[in-house]
Amino acid sequence: MKTFADRIIEFNENLDFPGALPEGISLLNPFRQNRDILPVSSAFYRKYYSDSLSRHLILGINPGRFGAGVTGIPFTDPKRLIEKCGIPFLGELKHEPSSVFIYEMIEAFGGAEAFYRKLYINSVCPLGFTATGKNGSEVNCNYYDFIEKLPGADKKVTNQSANRNTNPVYDFIVENMKKQLAMGVETDVCFCFGTGKNEKFLARLNDDHGFFGKIVALEHPRFIMQYKARLKHFYIDKYISAFREVC
């Protein structure tokens, strides 16, 4: 019988985006672009998910260059992977502020084992995207910033019937949402990281497909660390209170 870890690893192994992207947008698929990432992420999932327990799902936006783009684990940068999870990492020790917040929250929750026993973090769009910034450097790009710019998409991108087989990113999101639900997650409540565009898209997606009974949105860790750092402990308490209501 497959464990939760087996299902996650299989999901990651098979992640691929075959569609066309707008000009200037590049795909970030850590599992295909760096052969060292799948073994590292698999070690993490085998450590915390080698059971048949169900979890509540937390959905971020999409992988970024310094967190999941490096480790294959959402909101876990190399430093936190080593220091907080005890998983070896031989690559560059990049630092991601969102990961700092998440692991402070996890520590307050009761530690990584207690947290991951109850919750599973991934993304609305499980692969990431990058674009070229003004100074020529590569920058993160969020799926909702360009999804309506794709060929065949209209402004009602979240309308299921109007966009079926016309918007490759939308179709990719729907297909992989179904796969994540099949891993054994609870569907009464889904947690969303982001109270702006990510929440809005996920809510409309849920209206179309009925994936979850309820969506609980929490301020995105990056927003907290960038704009509300002085209130960090308030948001940690808010996160934990929301999780404890259902977990």
> Model pTM?
0.91
Contact 235, 224 (CB under 8 A): yes
Distance, in Å, from the CA atom of 96 to the CA atom of 73, rounded to the nearest integer, reads 12
| Rounded-to-integer distance, Cα 179 and Cα 189, Å | 17
The superfamily CATH assigns to domain 4-242 is: Uracil-DNA glycosylase-like domain (3.40.470.10)
Q: What pLDDT does residue 149 have? A: 57
* pLDDT (0 to 100) of residue 183: 94
Name the nearest CA neighbour of 66 among 57, 53, 55, 75.
Answer: 75
Q: What is the spatial distance between Cα 39 and Cα 20, in angstroms, rounded to a whole number?
A: 28
pLDDT value, residue 10: 98
For 94-116, give the DSSP string: ---HHHHHHHHHHHHHT-HHHHH
pLDDT at 166: 59
- Residue 155 is predicted with a pLDDT of 42
Provide the pLDDT for residue 162.
38
Distance CA 102, CA 106 (A): 6
Q: How long is the chain? A: 247
Provide the residue-wise pLDDT of the chain in tens; the chain has 247 residues: 899 999 999 999 999 998 888 888 899 999 999 999 999 999 999 999 999 999 999 999 999 888 889 999 999 999 999 999 999 998 888 889 999 999 999 999 999 999 999 999 999 999 999 988 778 778 889 999 877 654 444 444 444 433 444 588 999 999 999 999 999 999 999 999 999 999 999 999 999 999 999 999 999 999 999 999 999 999 999 999 999 999 9
- State residue 161's pLDDT score: 37
pLDDT, residue 164, reads 44
- Round to whole Å and give the CA distance between 21 and 221: 27
